[in-house]
Amino acid sequence: MAATSLRPNPSGHSQQELRRMRRRALLALRYVILLVLALLFLFPIAWSFINSIKLPSEALAVPPTYLPSEISLKNYEELTTYGKIGIAQHVYNSTVVALITVLGSIVLSTLGGYGFARFNFPGKNVLFVMVLSTLMIPFQSILIPLFVMIVQVDLHDTLFGLALVYITFQLPFGIFLMRNSFLAVPQEIEESALLDGCSSISILYRLMLRLVLPGIVTVAIYAFINSWNEFLAALIFMSDQDKFTLPVFLTTVRYGIWGDVNWGALQAGVIVSIIPSLAIFLALQRYYMDGLMGGAVKN
């Protein structure tokens, strides 16, 4: 068998060399495909950035110019003075809403996931199925009931009220992910802590949170990105223009004073809105992948 595998074929290569060359060719083809896909996904971002650094007249040119004649930051400067307060206040509004959403989603999802994973109580499975079933309900269909509830508690047109709405949207997925993250931790670790005299709250705070950190980071990333980019609920629940979040503000940037499309300023706003989500994901992607692969696939 060894002699046969080493016997050269008419082209002068042995069977092992041919298999090695075939593996290298397949690996090169795989990298080429991945590179093409990466370029396709990055092209819209690159195109937005190129348009954002063009002169306003070039950004509105028909047909469009592919590269700017000179690098200009006038589109970004226009965002700082657009409307009454500029983009800074709207970035602040989105940041406040996103931080409240992240904090609330982490706390409630962690407590809910820990309860479903480690405690037995009547109707536990039924209640968990009810929580998961809300994932199948389009959030647009419950916006009106939520709006009525927010108005009744006098939180309409407030950043905190909008954050509560976003937390409501995030909880089903967050509880599901954190429950599976806690189930992935061997129960013997908690039993040892109980023998040492720790309470359930102490175990959760001192021990379990460190073990399920990837799941917590995953919930935080999902909550931040979804709240940062969400448009419909922010448009419905906010009526004061000074409290608009960034996505709603960008819709007002799209049209100029005379009704023309201000593409340069709009693309500059898109780049500004992309930066926080991209930076957070790149900084925490290791925990994000561990959270998805380590906790979300456990039963």
Residues 28 and 87 grouped into a single domain: no
For the chain, the domain total comes to: 2
Can you give the pTM of this predicted structure?
0.82
Residues 70 and 149 grouped into a single domain: no
Residues 154 and 32 grouped into a single domain: no
Q: State which of 75, 103, 130 marks the end of a domain.
A: 75
Residues 81 and 222 grouped into a single domain: yes
Residues 44 and 133 grouped into a single domain: no
Residues 165-194 have a mean pLDDT of 87
Write out the DSSP string of 190-234.
HHHHHHTT--HHHHIIIIIHHHTHHHHHHHHHHHHHHHHH--HHH
Question: Are 104 and 163 spatial neighbours (Cβ–Cβ below 8 Å)?
Answer: yes
Spatial neighbors of 259 by CB under 8 A, at least 6 apart, are none
pLDDT band at 2 (very low <50, low <70, confident <90, very high): very low
Look up the CATH number of the domain holding residue 249: 1.10.3720.10
Residues 64 and 197 grouped into a single domain: no
Residues 140 and 17 grouped into a single domain: no
pLDDT of residue 185: 83
Whether residue 3 is predicted with pLDDT greater than 70 in this model: the reply is no
CA angle 48, 51, 54 (to 5 degrees): 155
pLDDT of residue 246: 92
CA–chain centroid gap for 32, Å, is 27
pLDDT band at 297 (very low <50, low <70, confident <90, very high): very low
Residues 22 and 84 grouped into a single domain: no
Mean model confidence pLDDT for the chain? 83
Q: State which of 75, 94, 124 marks the end of a domain.
A: 75
CA-based end-to-end distance of the chain: 46
pLDDT of residue 187: 81
For residue range 5-15, what is the model confidence (pLDDT) as tens digits?
A: 445 555 556 77
Question: Are 106 and 99 spatial neighbours (Cβ–Cβ below 8 Å)?
Answer: no
Tokens at 102, concatenated: 């992240």
Residues 104 and 59 grouped into a single domain: no
Q: State which of 26, 58, 75 marks the end of a domain.
A: 75
Q: Name 255's bridge partners.
A: 261
pLDDT of residue 136: 87
pLDDT band at 118 (very low <50, low <70, confident <90, very high): confident
191: burial class by Cβ within 10 Å (0-12, 13-18, 19+)? exposed
Residues 32 and 92 grouped into a single domain: no
pLDDT of residue 36: 95
Residues 132 and 254 grouped into a single domain: yes
pLDDT of residue 1: 46
For residue range 45-67, what is the model confidence (pLDDT) as tens digits?
A: 898 898 888 887 776 666 666 77
Cα–Cα distance list, 124 to 105, 120, 200, 213 (Å)? 21, 7, 18, 25
What is the rounded distance in angstroms from the CA atom of residue 285 to the CA atom of residue 291?
10
pLDDT of residue 165: 92
Residues 285 and 179 grouped into a single domain: yes
Enclosing domain of residue 228: 77-297
